[in-house]
Amino acid sequence: MGGETERTAAASKNEEKQAQVDIRKGILGFTESAVMKCAVELGIADALENSGGPMSLFELSSSLGCSPPALYRIMRFLVHRGIFSQKSTSQGSTGYVQTPISRLLVRHGENSMAGLVLFLSSPMLLALWQCLSARVLACETSAFEAAHGKGIFQYTATDPAFSKLMDDAMACGARVTVPAIIDGCPEVFEGLGSLVDIGGGNGTTLSIVVKACPWIHGINFDLPHVVSVAPKNDGVEHVGGDMFDSIPNADAAYLMRILHDWGDEECIHILRKCRDAIPRDKGKVIILEAVIEEKETDQLKDLGLMMDMVMMAYTGKGKERTLKEWAYLLNEAGFSRHSVKHIQAVESVIEAYI
Ligand SMILES: C[S@@+](CC[C@H](N)C(=O)[O-])C[C@H]1O[C@@H](n2cnc3c(N)ncnc32)[C@H](O)[C@@H]1O
């Protein structure tokens, strides 16, 4: 009996110790994204990518023009977290090398996530987290409005540099998600003569789609200040406007990471506008969004829940939704049926038909 009590006491002491470690890790969780931003700003991944082999601390620091002792500590942290790695050289010393994660931090690399790192860690967006509790207490405004006096999409119209940071960050996501649809369920784009991407940003999504499916005429639809600076792309027409007013006609309407920015009422309004823009018989709406309870792996569910917190901070009533919540929006907007396809991405493909 005495032994049992001792074991219980020891177990609860261990739990307490673990709780101390876990809470400190949670509190210091911001260090990982802050140091990743530092790595992007210094161009660490770019230097290693261009070096053609492992780089010693002194080679790396002289290539970046920074202090070896400070860089040593930055690299120790990032290697420990698996973002960079170390490898022995033929001379018997060790040097830093890339990992699959650090390759995504190369500024202009294929599938680069550097733009997303810089956007999410920008002072404008980091300020929002100071207003999250105020947002929870008074559900009316977003943390973005509380911090900066207007909603995020009104703000981008007044700050071209921030608008470009957002467009570049969104393009990073598009370069991962769109190929995942083309690889995982290419039938989504089959039979379409035209496709309107609503809130398509700088047109990265459609430039990938029309390259893979050259029979599609792409219409990149976004706010006038966004499309006026979007680069020209063959097969993609840029159209400026407001999705709450009207949406250009096309065989299918594509909404990627748009509806999660808005509350249910606004989503139903947007979806009804999409319904008006597509043919009654063969038209469809293609939605690319996280489906919270449907993900097969915990890791994806974890990412979906993180994104939900981001939506809470950035937008007024935006949120990540469950399958039941998506079904509700589509029913209310007048769609008779829909299907969900999972792809190698945080988002799933929801196809809705009139
Ligand atoms: C979160 S971004 C998503 C960009 C892109 N779909 C992607 O996933 O990469 C939201 C986009 O919606 C656009 N947007 C916001 N309000 C809009 C409106 N009323 N009409 C048209 N586009 C709008 C923004 O300018 C921005 O480009």
Kindly state whether residues 181 and 226 are assigned to the same domain.
yes
List the chain pLDDT tens, one digit each, 354 residues: 567 787 787 778 888 888 998 899 999 999 999 999 999 999 999 999 999 889 999 999 999 999 999 999 999 999 999 999 999 877 778 999 999 999 999 998 778 999 999 999 999 999 888 888 877 777 667 788 888 888 899 999 999 999 999 999 999 999 999 999 999 999 999 999 999 999 999 999 999 999 999 999 999 999 999 999 999 988 899 999 999 999 999 999 999 999 999 999 999 999 999 999 999 988 999 999 998 875 555 666 778 888 888 998 888 789 999 899 999 999 999 999 999 998 988 899 999 999
Q: What is the CATH number of the domain that holds 42?
A: 1.10.10.10
**Pair type for strands 252-256 and 194-198:** parallel
Alpha-carbon dihedral of residues 109, 299, 25, 99, nearest 10 degrees?
A: -30
Kindly state whether residues 60 and 159 are assigned to the same domain.
no
Kindly state whether residues 95 and 224 are assigned to the same domain.
no
Q: Which domain holds residue 90?
A: 1-112
User: Which residue in 260, 269, 338, 342 is the catalytic one?
Assistant: 260
Kindly state whether residues 185 and 65 are assigned to the same domain.
no
Kindly state whether residues 51 and 119 are assigned to the same domain.
no
Q: Whose CA is nearest to atom 5 of ligand 1?
A: 200
As for how many domains the chain has, the answer is 2
Kindly state whether residues 1 and 91 are assigned to the same domain.
yes
Of 112, 132, 165, the one marking the end of a domain is 112
Amino acid present at 253: A
Quick one: which atom of ligand 1 is closest to the CA of 156? 25
Kindly state whether residues 159 and 237 are assigned to the same domain.
yes
What's the CA gap between 61 and 57, in Å, rounded? Answer: 6
Residues 54 and 87 sit within 8 Å (Cβ to Cβ) = yes
Kindly state whether residues 119 and 101 are assigned to the same domain.
no
Q: What is the Cα gyration radius of the chain?
A: 23
SS3 245: coil
The dihedrals phi and psi of 142, each to the nearest 5 degrees, come to -85, 160
Contacts of 326 (CB under 8 A, 6+ apart): 287, 289, 291, 338, 340, 350
The set of protein residues with a Cβ atom below 6 angstroms from ligand 1 is 153, 170, 173-174, 199-201, 222-223, 226, 242-244, 256-258, 261
What's the CA gap between 112 and 90, in Å, rounded? Answer: 30
Q: What is the CATH number of the domain that holds 299?
A: 3.40.50.150
β strands within 116-216, DSSP E: 194-198
Kindly state whether residues 143 and 72 are assigned to the same domain.
no
